Amino acid sequence: MNNRERSLSGEAVRLEGIVKRFSGVTANAGIDLSLNYGEVHGLLGENGAGKTVLMSVLYGLYRPTEGQIYLKDRPVAISSPAVAIRAGIGMVHQHFMLVPRLTVADNMVVGWETLWGPFLDRSRIRRRIGELSEQYGLEVDPSARVEELSVGEQQRVEIVKALYRGAEVLILDEPTATLPEQEVESFFATIRALRDEGKAVVFITHKLREALTICDRVTVLRKGEKVGTVPASQATESQLAEMMVGREVVFEVQRERVASEGQPLLRVEGLTAVDDRGVPAVQEVGFTVHDHEIVGVAGVQGNGQSELVEAICGLSRLRQGQVMVDGEDLSGAPPRKMAQAGLVHIPEDRHRRGLILDFSVGENSILGRQYESPFAIGQVGQSKRAIAGYARELVERFNIVVPGVRTPARALSGGNQQRVILARELDRKPKVIVAAQPTRGLDVAGIEFVWEQLLAMRREGAAILLVSMDLDELLTLADRLVVMYQGKLVGERKPGETDKQEIGLLMLGGAVETA
């Protein structure tokens, strides 16, 4: 165990010829990768390129089918996460691995406890967490329960958790996907601090600009193969995008002007809603979305956007207020009624609200319509053939990368899970679309695709409410922007007449309403 004392320089990890096959799918096809101490190494690739699988192999979650891992030039077999942790490897997963009901401290130490005799030494644990959080500028409260924390806070908990276990190689799987833009800069400062201390950091992202900002070297994967490793200082966004996709990406959406007929398809009035704990989260919110219109909702996470969306879609009880869909009062109607009235929802939490992970892609693709023909036969029967046929059609049309429609949704890469949801909802030819963070975790091609789809729906006349943390996305797509702050709408702007800075200020409650 004394190899923890090693000097932190030179090569930390080398992966040679890593192959990982899942019954039939080759997720990694012979990948070489070298990570140095004191470097931030970017890992890029489209959805399903194999980034998470490769890192899971390094972390001992998957056994490689072929290939060898070297730690400090010594060949090792990492047979389980326990082995990886002992070897100084830490991983912050794309979907957090925290128990909501336990405290931050308990979550951090489980499996790697500091003891006093046979007991947990909770005071020493707290002190150690305090030291780490001070050292790296990662503010966490050890005695808070994880369920009370925002996504950004949970992420800090995950990082400190890895550091607590003595990680010197730190894998961060899409850490910025759920982070509001305002927090990205301080997050980068933390990464730099870790690097300067000599740690090897792997940074997985879909945002090319971020990769170029923070990384020293960048490795690009495509369809399970490594395309190459380049120094970030010599790379450009378009070059990386081309490496990822294998063709040039024109990252420009056609946002033609379409005239609205002024029909209010979604109308919300005086809506008040509470969060899970019963605290008022949305207060007296009202707005209208017309046909052929996209209204963007900006705001720092946790300012009531999630509760607003859930209240509109009938997923949580409405405290007060009205929701009208195409002139019909549907306040507090159940989701099925909403769907029948032509309102679809693209949920922000795709695991909790969007998919049943253990169900197949086919079954997931008809969720919400399972009672309709041709999927249902009578009251109880199900037509497997109709479901599979429909799912195959969606997979084709929406470019979803799946081994087959019988594969459980769990086995899909994050981006492809999102595509399944999008395909299912948009294919219902909705009148109103409520989309929450629809491009979270998607690669460039995926984002382009979603944007095109949303714009196409707009062209066909849909009213779209778009909730997003990504200001670029909002400014690109929305016809009008409203900003949410502490449960209220604090401003409305037109994208052409505002900029990121002004919106950013409004999001922080920093400006008074002028509109």
Partner 1 sequence: MDVLSLDIMVAALRLAMPIALVALGETFSERSGIINIGVEGTALAGALIGATVAFFSGSSVVGLCAALGVGMLLGLIHAVWCVYLRADHVVTGAAINLLVIGLALFLTRVVWGWRGTSAAVPTLNPWILVWGMVGLIVLAQVYLFRTPWGLRLRVVGEHPQAADTAGINVFRTRVAYSVLNGALCGLAGAFLVNNLGRFSVGMVGGRGFIGIAAMVVGNYRPIPAFLAAYLFGFVDALQMRLQDVIPSHFSIMLPYVLTVVVLAGFLGRAHVPAALGKPYIKDQG
Ligand X SMILES: Nc1ncnc2c1ncn2[C@@H]1O[C@H](COP(=O)(O)OP(=O)(O)OP(=O)(O)O)[C@@H](O)[C@H]1O
Interface residues toward partner 1, by CB under 8 A? 20-23, 25, 59, 61-63, 65, 80-85, 91, 93, 97-102, 106-107, 109-113, 115, 118-120, 410-411
Radius of gyration over alpha carbons of the chain, in Å? 24
Q: Which does 412 bind (CB under 5 to 8 A by kind): ligand X, partner 1, Mg ion, none?
A: ligand X
Nearest approach, Cβ of 325 to Mg ion (angstroms)?
A: 35
Q: Which does 401 bind (CB under 5 to 8 A by kind): ligand X, partner 1, Mg ion, none?
A: ligand X
Q: 28 vs 133, which CB is nearer to ligand X?
A: 28
* Distant-in-sequence, close-in-space partners of 450: CB < 8 Å, separation ≥ 6: 422, 438, 439, 442
Please, are residues 299 and 307 in contact by the beta-carbon 8 Å criterion?
Answer: no
Q: 51 vs 126, which CB is nearer to ligand X?
A: 51
Q: 51 vs 207, which CB is nearer to ligand X?
A: 51
Residue 411 binds ligand X (CB under 6 A): yes
Residue 108 binds ligand X (CB under 6 A): no
Q: Could you identify the residue written with the tokens 């900029």?
A: 499
Nearest approach, Cβ of 104 to partner 1 (angstroms)?
A: 13
Q: 243 vs 268, which CB is nearer to ligand X?
A: 243
Residue 413 binds ligand X (CB under 6 A): yes
Print the binding letters for residues 439-458 with ligand X: x by CB under 6 A, - otherwise.
----x---------------
- Burial of residue 142, with CB atoms counted within 10 A of its CB: 0-12 exposed, 13-18 middle, 19 or more buried: buried
Q: 52 vs 303, which CB is nearer to Mg ion?
A: 52
Helix 414-426 / helix 384-397 crossing angle, nearest 10 deg? 110
Nearest approach, Cβ of 51 to ligand X (angstroms)?
A: 4
Print the binding letters for residues 32-61 with ligand X: x by CB under 6 A, - otherwise.
-------------x-xxxxxxx--------
Closest residue to bound Mg ion by CB = 52
Q: Which does 36 bind (CB under 5 to 8 A by kind): partner 1, Mg ion, ligand X, none?
A: none
Nearest approach, Cβ of 21 to Mg ion (angstroms)?
A: 17
Nearest approach, Cβ of 377 to partner 1 (angstroms)?
A: 26
Residue 354 binds ligand X (CB under 6 A): no
* Distant-in-sequence, close-in-space partners of 89: CB < 8 Å, separation ≥ 6: 13, 58, 59, 60, 78, 167, 168, 169, 171
- Rounded Cα gap, residues 164 and 148, in angstroms: 21
- Rounded Cα gap, residues 325 and 120, in angstroms: 55
- Rounded Cα gap, residues 484 and 144, in angstroms: 26
Q: Specify the length of the chain in residues.
A: 515
Q: Which does 109 bind (CB under 5 to 8 A by kind): ligand X, Mg ion, partner 1, none?
A: partner 1
Q: 27 vs 273, which CB is nearer to partner 1?
A: 27
- The CA–CA distances, whole Å, from 494 to 171, 296, 500 equal 40, 10, 12
Q: Could you identify the residue written with the tokens 């010594």?
A: 74
Categorise residue 81: left if φ over 0, alpha if ψ from -120 to 50, beta otherwise. Answer: alpha
Helix 151-164 / helix 181-196 crossing angle, nearest 10 deg? 10
Looking only at residues 25 through 54 of this chain, which bind Mg ion when binding is defined by CB under 5 A? 52
Nearest approach, Cβ of 154 to partner 1 (angstroms)?
A: 12
Positive or negative, the CA dihedral 331, 335, 337, 343 is positive
Q: Which does 415 bind (CB under 5 to 8 A by kind): ligand X, Mg ion, partner 1, none?
A: ligand X
Nearest approach, Cβ of 403 to partner 1 (angstroms)?
A: 10
Nearest approach, Cβ of 50 to ligand X (angstroms)?
A: 4
Q: Which does 102 bind (CB under 5 to 8 A by kind): ligand X, Mg ion, partner 1, none?
A: partner 1
Six token digits for residue 95: 């979907």
Out of 27, 218, 355, 471, which residue is the one contacting ligand X (CB under 6 A)? Answer: 27
SS (HEC) of 343-385: EEEECCCHHHHHCCCCCEHHHHHCCCCCCCCCCEECCCEECHH
Closest listed residue to residue 309, CA positions, set 330, 282, 340: 282
- The CA–CA distances, whole Å, from 32 to 15, 168, 434 equal 5, 20, 42
Looking only at residues 5 through 24 of this chain, which bind ligand X when binding is defined by CB under 6 A? 22
Looking only at residues 336 through 355 of this chain, which bind Mg ion when binding is defined by CB under 5 A? none
- Rounded Cα gap, residues 502 and 493, in angstroms: 10
Residue 205 binds Mg ion (CB under 5 A): no
Rule CB under 6 A: which residues touch ligand X?
22, 25, 27, 45, 47-53, 94, 401, 411-415, 443
